[in-house]
Amino acid sequence: MASLNKKVSPSNVNLPNDLVLNILSRLPVKSLKRFSCVQKSWANLLEDPHFVDIYYENLTSKTRDSCLLLNQHVPNTVESYLFLLFGERYENRVKFDWPSPFHEDNESVIVVGSCVNGTICLQRVSMIDTTTSIKVLLWTPKTKEFKVVPPSLTAEPELQFQITITGFGYDHVTDDYKLIQNVLVHALNNDYAEVNPPLPGQFWQIYSVKSNCWRNLDLEMTCDVFPQPVGLAVYLNGVCHWLACEDHNQEPYDTDVLLVSFDMSSEMFVTTLISRYNHHDFCDRYLVVLKESVAVISMFENNNCFDVSILGEAGVEESWVKLFTVGLPTCVDHPIGAGKNGDIFFRKYDGELVWYDFSSKTIKEIGIKGEFCYSQTVML
């Protein structure tokens, strides 16, 4: 009888190379990089065109085992609707009623970040938060339960607050759901600054569902968040990620585009450089989750194409892996989300919402129109 204590290693397991590549191609990029030390030939797999083709094929397989929530803002109206999309061509749809706090006013309601364990964060977008009206709630579409998030600040007649919720996620250590937000503070007149202590400029706050309250965070984060969070934030495995930028005025590039990754348990963050550019090189970027990895879709204004790059390790600039570049017809405006199997959704310039089918490499219409910036899809 063979010894049960015999050590097993790659050198004494004779698996066909094609089978090994197929298994590895189904792993997230982070796992691939972690396993690169197991065998020397695995270290540069993502630089091998043959392996990238296999990885791409698995990423864009035809399996449709997830549903999508479509937040539709109807062009040239104040109307918005929520739909559940499913089916081989997303041809099936079920209309959701808004939670009761948004029945009367859902004109500018967006989904912040990703769906977390079946729950989503809904926010009525407002550049100025000076009232106690309901702005944010957590909602579970399946059960229709919701929780209103209390305001984090009280109205100040001489101050203007610009609030951006950058993340909604789950803290597995304390079994708690949390929100993180950035607050910019502006004095409405010069007299205020002369008789009061200096304003903080910006600060960060975090909300806990368990305690049902906000508290300030001591974060030294110098980069600027984008005021419009649609498509700029995702959640994955206990970490909220969002896009940010930082000006440095160094020729030939004057702005860094960054990915901020905030751990909901440790409440610490790291940043990962995505690119450096100057303001003459316009590029529209959108964050999605593909194959259990954070990915950024980059659309360049004059190239009629988009790139998809996947992050291997937060905080490591060199871990970005560009998977592919796809050409698009000139009618496509900007991305609005992605499906679990790799389908990427876009808005056309005429308002029509479409998705890119990687199998046939064609654009397919959903049969719904959406307003610029606000329409989005979220995986459930």
pLDDT in tens, the chain (380 residues): 444 444 444 444 566 677 777 777 666 666 766 666 667 667 667 666 677 666 656 655 544 445 677 777 766 666 677 877 777 777 777 777 888 888 776 667 888 888 899 899 998 765 444 444 558 999 988 888 999 999 888 777 777 788 889 999 999 999 999 999 988 887 777 766 665 665 667 889 999 999 999 999 988 887 888 766 567 899 999 999 999 888 766 665 677 889 999 999 999 999 999 887 765 566 788 888 887 889 998 887 666 788 889 898 899 998 898 888 888 888 888 788 877 667 788 888 888 888 887 767 788 888 777 765 556 777 76
Q: Residue 271 and residue 223: Cα distance in Å, rounded?
A: 9
Determine the Cα–Cα distance for residues 284 and 252; give it in Å rounded to an integer: 20
* Residue 141: C-alpha distances to residues 92, 115, 138 (Å): 17, 10, 10
Q: Mention every residue, 6+ apart, whose C-beta is less than 8 A from residue 211.
A: none
Peptide bond before residue 252 is cis, with ω within 30 degrees of 0: yes
Which of 142, 141, 212, 215 shows the shortest CA–CA distance to 183? 215
Question: Is the separation of the CB atoms in 57 and 41 below 8 Å?
Answer: no
DSSP code per residue over 19-67:
HHHHHHTTS-HHHHHHGGGT-GGGTTGGG-HHHHHHHHHHHT-S-----
User: What does the alpha-carbon distance between residue 21 and residue 316 come to, in Å, rounded to a whole number?
Assistant: 25
pTM: 0.78
